[in-house]
Structure 1
């Protein structure tokens, strides 16, 4: 079985970026969304991304971004991927991919089997799909709330493209999540925090170790 990729998302300090890299994370994520407790500005994102070595993918997480925002975030050449976590249409995803030349991820909010099926519209358009728990109507954040969906909805998923699992993951349930879904990538944020937006180095290490043992 190939090694499961790990994305530690919502990083905001050099210490936690370093911890994620040392723990074996394949991806580090930085959130640029002002409503999020994990928000970092353009300069912070570029500085943090610069800490990660070349073999670690550096992902900007944004919500319904305009081209000016994306141009500012990508100008430093530090990023390797853009993760779209809003209501971006397939056409918008394709346009971003064409214009900015980076790998583009599209988060798919999941509550029911129909939500999984809706991901088909992005096959061949996005570079990776990320299945995340659907947040309640009216919630301030589109993700990062520690919610999980019924992982059995992904059992037997056959997608002709890379994908990952997010939402409600933690040290204690990583093995179950991977066993149920066969996810090739797991993406965690609030599950390795001591408080909203405050990453915990020990939890990052423990989560990566738990995944590596799967």
Structure 2
């Protein structure tokens, strides 16, 4: 303080101009704690700052069923395949990932996610309605669903729900009872020759 303050030079490390982040950890190293420090350093404070960034080619993504893969290409939304109502898909997965890992759970999650997003009404299907409690025979769009650990939804439980999903605002049902939809090529506008499985599932960036 006072005159001594003029002799002190601020050599603190700062976040570069224009950068931002969130402090996720602070560690203090000291010679009093027998920490290994460079010569001439008595105490060291290390601040860990995490930054959010957009995913890019080469990043690895993973689902909740052991399904993982590397991003091969990122396209503009207008070039992605789209549903008949114009909704583009977010991610295209290699179909070889299912038989290779034999994790059918990712397909069932995709189907259940679509059912929960669109809502359902099985009152017109008495044979299927008897398999569910009365309060679950219909549900609006964006309904939250969950399955017990190690006792997830099975194919026979989802078949009836997929056939009973609610139409969109245009009165169209995008996905059929098999969980597949007609997709169109975003670049040419032409439909793909075969129906494609479409739904909702959790995909997160894999930290490795």
The TM-score normalised by the length of structure 1 is: 0.24
Structure having the larger proportion of residues in helix: 1
The TM-score normalised by the length of structure 2 is: 0.24
Structure having the larger proportion of residues in strand: 1
Q: Which protein has the larger Cα radius of gyration, Structure 1 or Structure 2? A: 2
